[in-house]
Amino acid sequence: MAIRQIVKLGDEVLRKKSFAVTDFGERTHELLGDMYDTLKKANGAGLAAVQVGVLRRIFLVIKGESIEDGVYEMLNPEIIKESGEQYGTEGCLSVPGKWGEVKRPYKVTVKYQDRYGKPKTLKAEGFLAKAICHEYDHLNGVVYVDKADNLRAEEK
C-alpha cells in the first residue's frame, strides 16, 4: 500500500469523465488500498480515483464520523433515486483550505459494484448522501466549487 499524490484544482484531469471499471482483480485492489491510505493520511471524508490521477469510476466514502468506522468502496456507481434537500458546507481534498455551501438531495439510493464486481445497493441520507453526491460528481469531471455558494478560504 502506498500514499498517492492528490491532484489539485487546476489540473485538467479533474475535468475529465472517468471510465467504467472492468478489472476487479489485483490491480484495482491495489488502487483501492492506496486510495484508502491516501484518504486516511489526508483525513478526508471521501476520495475519487480521479483525485489520484486514475480515470476510473471508483470512489471511497467514510461510513461514519471517521475512517476508523470503515469505508464504502463504490465501483461504477449510479445514483438511481434522490429525494429531499440539504444545504451544507463542503470542502474537497483537491481544493485545500476552501469551503462553500452546496445544495444536495437529503437521501439517495446508489447502485454500485464492490471490489469483486458484486452488485450492491445502498440507501444513504444526511452526511453520507452528501458525500456520495460529491464523489459521484468527480467521476463526471464536476468539482463542488462549480456548485458552491459563498466559496471561501478559512478554517473549518
Residues 6+ apart with CB under 8 A from 23: none
Closest separation in Å from C-beta 94 to Co ion: 6
Whichever of 118 and 152 has its CB closer to Co ion, that residue is: 152
Closest separation in Å from C-beta 48 to Co ion: 7
Question: Which among 71, 28, 78 is positioned nearest to 49, based on CA atoms?
Answer: 28
Q: Is-contact 80 110, C-beta < 8 A?
A: yes
Closest separation in Å from C-beta 70 to Co ion: 19
Residues 4-43, mask of contacts with Co ion (x by CB under 5 A): ----------------------------------------
Q: Is 135 a catalytic residue?
A: yes
Q: Is-contact 6 38, C-beta < 8 A?
A: yes
Whichever of 60 and 92 has its CB closer to Co ion, that residue is: 92
Q: Is residue 13 within a helix (H) or strand (E), and if so which, with residue range?
A: none
CA–CA dist 36, 107 (Å, integer): 25
Cell numbers for 74 = 463504490
Q: Is residue 16 within a helix (H) or strand (E), and if so which, with residue range?
A: none
Residues 66-105, mask of contacts with Co ion (x by CB under 5 A): --------------------------x-------------
**Strand pairing class (86-92; 58-62):** unpaired
Site for Co ion contains 45 (CB under 5 A) = no
Number of residues that bind Co ion (CB under 5 A): 1
Per the residue annotation, which of 78, 125, 135, 154 is the catalytic one? 135
**Footprint on this chain of Co ion (rule: CB under 5 A):** 92
Residue numbers annotated as active site? 135
